Amino acid sequence: MDFIKNFPFFSIIICLVSGVLTSVLKKKAARYLTYTALFVLFVLSSLVLFYTIQTGDYYVYRMGHYFAPWGNEIRIGVLEGIFAVFFCIVMLLSIVAGEKHIDEDVESTKINLYYTLICLMMSSLLALTYTNDLFTAYVFIEINTITAACLVSVSGTGRSLYASTKYMIMSLLGSGLVLIGITLLYDVTGHLLLSNIHDSVETIMATGEYAAPMTIIIALITIGLSIKSALFPFHSWLPDAHTASTISSSAILSGLVLKGYIIVLIKFFYRSIGWENVLKTGINDVIFVFGIMAMIVASLFAIVQKDIKRMVAYSSVAQIGYIFMGLGIGNEIGVIAAIFQIFAHGVTKSMIFISIRGFKDVSEHSTRFDGIKGAALRNKVSGVAFAAGAFSMVGIPFLPGFVSKLNFAAAAGDFGGTKMIIILVALAFSTILNCIYFFNALITLYTPVVMSEEEKAKRSVKSGALYIVTVVCFILVNVFVGTFSAQILDLIESGLKMFS
């Protein structure tokens, strides 16, 4: 066996070990350990991605001496490889860019614990991506839930505690539903391994013996995971959580945490239930309706917000709606478009949050629109990053948001019928709404304000070289994803074939 096949397992273990170690290290040592670990992960994941592209097939890695239904296993294809690389890049850039605010928001003696959370969250995201076992997925969903709620509450202010309590309650409701679903599924099929569940589900669908519990199971797991990934009627925790947390936490929460659950959902649909059976139950239509509602309603909410972070948070809800809409269309192009939207939204939204950090620096820690007036002129790099993000979200060519919108339209055209009309209308309407609130924010940011010398001195805070480097990296990543979208889409397509 090639040594490279061990790398996914190594990356999970590296995260777990460095997470445990950071809890006893000093602040600086913990920070450098985390950066090193994330960089090593990036290298390992890229190597794994290249390896899978070269061999052109997925491989199964046995965890221990026992084969899969008895022991654990992880399964790596192209799609998992891309997800892992994407997670590593966004996590590393978000952490490095928000370094200064972590120092300010978190108590100085607890900064190493913040990095513990980051490492363990990374391990959970990687494990969710690689795992081929439903119960392992649940264990790491738990780690993800706890770390995410704590990332929100880490600054310890009243607002963040409120937000994290709200998040915790909603998220635990989701976990509970997922756990009930997994238990019932085990009872009906007798397996926890995703591929083996698929065989049992096929016989169940053929004989129709436990068909009614099967529908309930699919509904429970879908609802549970969509609560955790803030699909529209369950989104109420997300704006609070984004507003109250420190910048890095917001970027990670929006860019990565929500995506981890969607990956589990896609995996559950594709690998264990089988896409045809999902279409038979009609759960994709339910997802579709809620996705469309999220696209419109959350954008309307975003227009009336007075705080830029809150506005971006509502925009996240709308973009999550796009992903679910793509899954709900019911053809393969839709799923590919949804997966591309995961990457597009991940890189763009994290960049927008990171750029808000720059505005916050030069506006005396305000994120309200009246406070950040003209902030883009005082901090030019952040301004460019925010503008790039806004253009991407609205849909300007060469940026990822445009490509995903195009793909959704293509998927709609492929599907035809009433759904096509609904999708096209919703896409157009939500694009207009996106334009309204993002351009409104841009205009506010670029409006020059007259200030006294004293105010000017107070507000001209240097962001630091590291920040500028990370923001430039973010912009480059965005342009890369936007420009080489055709290749990425090809990879996703081939990965999706290995996925099921």
189 binds other proteins (CB under 8 A): yes
> At its nearest, how many Å lie between other proteins and the CB of residue 187?
5
331: exposed, middle or buried (Cβ count in 10 Å: 0-12, 13-18, 19+): middle
Whole-number Å distance between alpha carbons of 257 and 263? 10
| Residue with smaller CB distance to other proteins, 34 or 136 | 136
Whole-number Å distance between alpha carbons of 369 and 68? 54
Of 103-122, binders to other proteins (CB under 8 A) are: 107-110, 113-114, 116-117, 120
Residue-by-residue DSSP string for 404-463? HHHHHHHHHHHH-HHHHHHHHHHHHHHHHHHHHHHHHHHHHHH------HHHHHHH----
Please report which residue ranges of 98-193 form alpha helices under DSSP H.
99-105, 111-130, 134-153, 158-189
Whole-number Å distance between alpha carbons of 408 and 322? 8
464 binds other proteins (CB under 8 A): no
| Residue with smaller CB distance to other proteins, 211 or 428 | 211
Whole-number Å distance between alpha carbons of 110 and 114? 7
Query: How many positions of this chain bind other proteins (CB under 8 A)?
Result: 62
Q: Dihedral of the CA atoms 319, 325, 326, 327 (nearest 10)?
A: 120
Site stretch for other proteins (CB under 8 A), options 188-196, 251-259, 336-344, 407-415: 188-196
Instruction: Give the residue from 51, 119, 56, 125 showing the smallest Cα distance to 84.
Output: 125
199 binds other proteins (CB under 8 A): no
227 binds other proteins (CB under 8 A): no
Residue of 191, 235, 309, 373 that binds other proteins (CB under 8 A): 191
Residue of 11, 45, 132, 153 that binds other proteins (CB under 8 A): 153
Whole-number Å distance between alpha carbons of 392 and 404? 10
Residue of 54, 206, 207, 212 that binds other proteins (CB under 8 A): 212
149 binds other proteins (CB under 8 A): yes
How far the first Cα of the chain sits from its last, in Å, is: 23
Of 24-43, binders to other proteins (CB under 8 A) are: 24
Whole-number Å distance between alpha carbons of 458 and 365? 11
Tell me how crowded residue 213 is: count the other CB atoms within 10 A of its CB.
Answer: 14
Distance of CA 389 to the CA centre of its chain: 16
169 binds other proteins (CB under 8 A): no
272 binds other proteins (CB under 8 A): no
415 binds other proteins (CB under 8 A): no
For residue 42, give both structure tokens. 């990036």
Q: What is the DSSP letter of 373?
A: T
| Residue with smaller CB distance to other proteins, 120 or 295 | 120
Lay out the site mask for other proteins across 60-99 (x = CB under 8 A, - = otherwise): -xxxxxx--xxxx---------------------------
| Residue with smaller CB distance to other proteins, 253 or 445 | 253
What Rg, from alpha-carbon coordinates, does the chain have? 22
Lay out the site mask for other proteins across 120-139 (x = CB under 8 A, - = otherwise): x--xx--x-----x-xx--x
> At its nearest, how many Å lie between other proteins and the CB of residue 345?
26
| Residue with smaller CB distance to other proteins, 17 or 384 | 17
Footprint of other proteins (CB under 8 A): 1, 5-6, 9, 13, 16-17, 19-21, 23-24, 61-66, 69-72, 107-110, 113-114, 116-117, 120, 123-124, 127, 133, 135-136, 139-140, 142-143, 146-147, 149-150, 153-154, 156, 161, 180, 184, 186-191, 200, 210, 212-213, 216
